[in-house]
Structure formats: C-alpha cells, structure tokens
Amino acid sequence: MRFPKLRELLETLRAVSSGILSRGFPSLHRNTVPGYRGKPVPDPEWCIGCRGCAGVCPAEAILIEDKQGVRRITRLYDRCVYCGECRELCPRPSPGVVLSGENEPPGTDRKVMRRVQEFELVRCTRCRAPLGTKAQLREAARKIGPALVSASPDMLLIEQERLGIPFPPALRRKQVMRPDIFTFLCPVCRNTVYRAESDK
Ligand code: SF4
Ligand code: SF4
C-alpha cells in the first residue's frame, strides 16, 4: 500500500466531515420493537410478596430481606437480564410483575436502578421464623376456603384479623402448652406443641 499515512489522514478527514453516524445513546431515547419484554415492574395490586419470583430468577436480581415485621423485596435492574421468568412463573392469577417493554435508563449509580417493595410480615410467635407476608397468608386462606380455614388456627387468626378481630398477644412460656396453638406457629413449633401434648 502506498502512502499509508496519507490515506489514513484522508479517511480521518472524511469521517470528521460526514457528521455523527452512531445513535445518540443514551441521551437519545431509542424505541423498542413490539413484543420486547423490557424490565419487570411490580404490580402492587397483584403482588403479595410471596418471594416465588426470587427463587426462579436466573440472574439473582431479586433480593429478599425479612427484618422484624417487614419483608422487603428489591428488584435490581442493573443485574436483570429481562428474561421474563419472574412474570412467567408468578403464581398469581394476574402476575404480580408486569413486563414494561422499557429499558432501565443507563447510569453510573446502581442504587437508583432498583425498585423496592415492602410487605407486612407474619412471624412464628415462638421462634420468630418468618411464616409469610400477611397478604400471602390471606391469599392462602381465600384459596383453601372457609371449611379448611376453620381447621387451621393460623388461617383462622388471619381471617379473624380481616374481620377486625386483632391477633392475640404472643404467649411467653418456657414450655409449650396447648393454648399456644392459638397463636401463629411455624410447622416446627406446632409439631413441638403437639408432641409435648401427646407425651403427657
Ligand atoms: S406475587 Fe409474583 S411477583 Fe410478587 S413476590 Fe410472588 S412471585 Fe414475585
Ligand atoms: S426478568 Fe429475569 S432476570 Fe429480570 S428479575 Fe425477572 S427473572 Fe430475574
């Protein structure tokens, strides 16, 4: 090749004079095509905080934190790969998460690329293990129907609370006793109560 430096110079001048050819990303909004999934956005009307979507997310983009009486669900859009599994496998009749068809705007601050939801959490009154969100237990009570609700002390408490009767206070005993079944108990503690009763 002859005069390579001269050819490079000509190419550079041609590129500079032809204007910007690339898209103005990210300042210029780029339309997405129909059917594009986009980032998942929670639907507060349908999401009950059951944490099912966190278990199926392949990118581990859904964080669950159970602290005291609150379950916090954080969707991390800087990790999300927009696969749509969280919507596909949500157990609600209308998914608790909607695929928006939109991209998360690019940026340098990861803390703004997230969506946080908080739910009231119900814990075992003995060992404090989380039993689920109140919305989740209410949905379970609705699904199993009144006949089975009346057979489960925990479900009865949830239904009573919906009707305006407050939860009974937690019983503070060293040893579990029969009345403990009328408070919220996780399966392990409930089993302990029943076994303690049957051993008498
Ligand atoms: S209701 Fe659906 S979107 Fe909400 S936490 Fe459960 S699986 Fe996730
Ligand atoms: S779209 Fe996929 S990667 Fe993003 S939060 Fe849902 S399951 Fe996770």
Split the chain (200 residues) into runs of 10 and give each run's mean pLDDT: 85 85 68 88 97 97 95 97 96 95 88 96 88 93 88 85 79 70 84 78
HSE value, Cβ hemisphere, 13 Å, CA-based, for 118: 5
Q: Does 12 reside within a domain?
A: no
For ligand 1, mutation pick of 53, 62, 71, 139 (most atoms within 8 Å of CB): 53
The verdict on the CB of residue 38 being under 6 Å from ligand 2 is no
Does one domain contain both 75 and 152?
no
With contact defined as beta carbons under 8 Å apart, do 96 and 48 qualify? yes
> What atom of ligand 2 comes closest to residue 82's alpha carbon?
1
For ligand 1, mutation pick of 97, 121, 137 (most atoms within 8 Å of CB): 97
Does one domain contain both 102 and 65?
yes
Question: Identity (one letter) of the amino acid at 88?
Answer: E
> What atom of ligand 2 comes closest to residue 99's alpha carbon?
1
**Atom 6 of ligand 1: nearest residue by CA position:** 50
Alpha carbons 58 and 40: distance in angstroms, whole number: 14
**CA-based Rg of the chain, rounded to a whole angstrom?**
27
Number of domains within the chain: 2
The verdict on the CB of residue 185 being under 6 Å from ligand 2 is no
Q: Ligand 1 center to residue 69 CA distance, Å?
A: 18
Q: Does 65 reside within a domain?
A: yes
Ligand positioned closest to the Cα atom of 133: 1
Q: Which of 123, 150, 182 is the last residue of a domain?
A: 123
* Residue 164 burial (10 A CB sphere; 0-12, 13-18, 19+): exposed
> What atom of ligand 1 comes closest to residue 96's alpha carbon?
3
What is the pLDDT at residue 87?
97
Does one domain contain both 36 and 107?
yes
pTM of the predicted protein model: 0.80
Question: Identity (one letter) of the amino acid at 75?
Answer: R
Alpha carbons 127 and 186: distance in angstroms, whole number: 8
Does one domain contain both 108 and 184?
no
Q: Residue 40: which of 74, 91, 69, 6 has the closest Cα?
A: 74
What is the pLDDT at residue 180?
77
What is the pLDDT at residue 127?
85
Does one domain contain both 106 and 135?
no
What is the pLDDT at residue 1?
62
Owning domain of residue 197: 124-200
Does one domain contain both 45 and 57?
yes
Residues 125, 173, 148, 186: is their CA dihedral positive or negative? positive
3 state SS of 43: coil
With contact defined as beta carbons under 8 Å apart, do 181 and 193 qualify? yes
Does one domain contain both 183 and 139?
yes
Does one domain contain both 63 and 75?
yes
Could you tell me where the beta strands, DSSP code E, fall in the chain?
Answer: 40-42, 62-67, 70-76, 97-99, 114-123, 130-133
What is the pLDDT at residue 182?
80
Could you tell me where the beta strands, DSSP code E, fall in 40-96?
Answer: 40-42, 62-67, 70-76
